[in-house]
Amino acid sequence: MAVLVAILIFDLSLVIHRPHVPSMKEATGWVGFYIALALIFAGVLFWMGDSGKATEFMTGWLLEYSLSIDNLFVFIIILSRFTVPKEMQQRILMIGILIAIVLRGIFILVGVRIIEQFSWVFYIFGAYLVYVGFKQAFGHDDDAGEKDSWLIRLLKKRANFTDTWNGGKVTKNIDGTKYLTPFLLVILALGTTDLLFAIDSIPAIFSVTTDPFLVFACNIFALMGLRQLYFLLGGLLERLVYLHYGIAAILAFIGVKLVFHAMKANDVPWINNGEPIKWVPEIQNWHSLLVIVVSMIVAVVASLIKMRRDAQTTGDTSMHIGPSEAELGPDGHYHIVDMTGASFMRPLRVEPTDTGTLTVIDAKGKEAPATQFERETLRAAAREDMDEDELQKVRDHIAKHGDGRDTQDASAAGNDSPEQPTR
């Protein structure tokens, strides 16, 4: 565990001293590194002669990893809603993950004590997870992360806020008045979200093991690398439209398993006269492991098939894995490069001109004609950096005037204009 803490501290120091958007290669390397660490940890448990603990860890880790991916959906919405600068996203995500680790640690300690004293609590945990699974599959949670929590609404009423970021600072002086920045609101939004997800994930892991060390290890390994996974998957995560069904199936299965466990260890007087219910089937951890793997594979494959079919209609064949084609400059900021080799700092915007052309304006006010950029590169960057209204204006302009390229390109410009990102 000391090694895990040391790695987390090292990872945090990188984020603080060098805030940036990781490249595809960097994000892939870190995700692979953390997955390898989890597999090595399981191997050590097996080598020590405790295959049961190794199986429990692998099952619990995959369970928590699946549920943590669900966190990313809400993280994407929150970061988008507060317009978090790209170079600040790593720091924001790291803080959110640290909050999640602390909250889950508290829940684990409390949960273990409750379970030791009251075995019937598994009935409640199980029923709750079945309910969450049903709600995940058939509910309407599209606004998750899009509405302010009661705490944020209270702060907005009592304090001065500005929409302008001031790096990683929570305050900014404007005309002699101190304002709170969006940085604080994002942290609070992530914190409240982490609390809700902890309520789901901790009862779920108790279906696999009640060993506090293993429960905490599963959560740590699942959360480590989550930040890099956010950048690695990029826009692909939003396009895995059936992933929530896979997660719902996992939650419902785990809920049923917890209820079965409670029935086998039943001591509730008004259920079977307080005697254990012996006919209940025994669900082994390898059964859980199989359900988790199959559910995630089916959900991902089904989503990819849908993406392929949609691509035949829209013409958008990009997988949207990782950030858009761009480069990370030596200043630690994200850039895109035009066909002349000139670099433009993100975020950028595309604006119609009075002459009927399109102009690209970067974060520093540097301008260049849109025809100076590769179409797909500019399109992907605009999708990430511009909001819905701005994108619609560009689409309307291209439909009316074209994009300023040759006649053949202009005829296809209506389909290739920057599209509204899937939210």
Q: What is the DSSP letter of 23?
A: P
pLDDT at 39: 92
Give the whole-angstrom CA distance, residue 111 versus residue 116.
9
Q: Is the pLDDT of residue 311 over 50?
A: yes
Query: For 224-275, what is each residue's pLDDT tens digit?
Result: 878 778 777 765 666 677 888 888 888 888 888 888 888 887 878 888 788 8
Query: Contact 344/360 with Cβ under 8 angstroms?
Result: yes
CA 146 to CA 85: how far, in whole Å? 18
Amino acid at 24: M
> Region 158-183: what's the mean pLDDT?
80
Report the C-alpha gap between 19 and 333 in whole angstroms.
8
Residue 296 or 342, more confident: 296
Encode pLDDT of 21-48 as tens digits: 666 677 788 888 888 988 998 999 889 8
pLDDT at res. 294: 92
Q: For the chain, give the longest Cα–Cα distance.
A: 84
Across the chain, what does the average pLDDT equal?
Answer: 77
Cβ pair 84, 385 in contact under 8 A? no
Using DSSP's 3-state secondary structure scheme, residue 361 falls into strand
Give domain limits for the chain.
2-314, 327-416
Does residue 75 register a pLDDT over 50? yes
5 compared with 173, residue with greater pLDDT: 173
Residue 296 pLDDT grade (very low, low, confident, very high; cuts 50, 70, 90) = confident
